[in-house]
Amino acid sequence: MDTSTAHPERERILNVPNTITFARLILFMPLFVLLVLVWHENFWAFIVLVALGATDWIDGFAARKLGQVTHFGAVLDPVADRASQVVVCVTLVISGILPLWILIAIAATDLILGLIILAYKRQGSMTITYISKVRTTFLMLGLPLLLLAHSDFPGHEVLAVVAFYGVVIGCLLHVFVGAQYAAIVIREGRAHSRPLGASAAGRPDADAPNRRG
C-alpha cells in the first residue's frame, strides 16, 4: 500500500508550515499570557513575542520553499495572525501596559470589517497595500518594544515613550486600512449586485432604427 497517498487530506493539513502555525496558537500564545499575567516576566514574554512574530514569517516561507501552500494554510494563517494580535493586546491591557482604547479601536475595526465582508459575501483575500504593511510594521515592532520597556533596565523610560507612540501610529493606520478595505468590499459588492442592463440604461440602442421626424 502506498502510504504517501493513504491520507492526502491529513497530509495537506499536517504539513510543516501548518504545524508551525498551530504551534503559534497552542504553544506560544498561552506561554506569553502566563509569562505576563502569572509569572510577571516581561523580558521573557518579550522573547516569546518576538518568536511569535517570527513564526508568522517562517510558516509562509516554509510553505513556499517546500511547495506546501494549501487552502487550509491560507485560511489558518490569517486566523492565527488575528488571534495572536487579540491575545497580545488583551494581555497587555489586563497587565496595564497597553491603554484600553487601543484594543477597542483595533477590535472594533476588525469586527466592522468582518461584518461588512459577511454582508456582501465577499470571497478571496484582500490585496495587501503599502499602508497595510507599514501598519503591521508599527504594531509588530511597537508592541514587543512596549513590553520590553516595562522590564527593569536602564533607559526603559525613553523606550516606553517611543514604543507607545509607535503603537498609537500603528493603531491609527489599522483603522485607516480597515476603512479602506471596507470601502473596497462595499464598492465591489455593489458592482456585482448591479443588474446587467443597468450599465446600459440611458444609452440609445445601437440596433434601433434611425427615426427622423
pLDDT in tens, 24-82: 999 999 999 999 999 999 999 999 999 998 998 899 899 999 999 888 888 888 888 88
Report the alpha-carbon angle 173-174-180, nearest 5.
85
Distance in angstroms (rounded) separating the CA atoms of residues 71 and 93: 34
Q: Report the chain's mean pLDDT, rounded to a whole number.
A: 85
Distance in angstroms (rounded) separating the CA atoms of residues 151 and 111: 32
Q: How confident is the model at residue 151 (pLDDT cuts 50, 70, 90)?
A: confident
Q: How confident is the model at residue 125 (pLDDT cuts 50, 70, 90)?
A: low
Q: Give residue 42's pLDDT.
A: 94
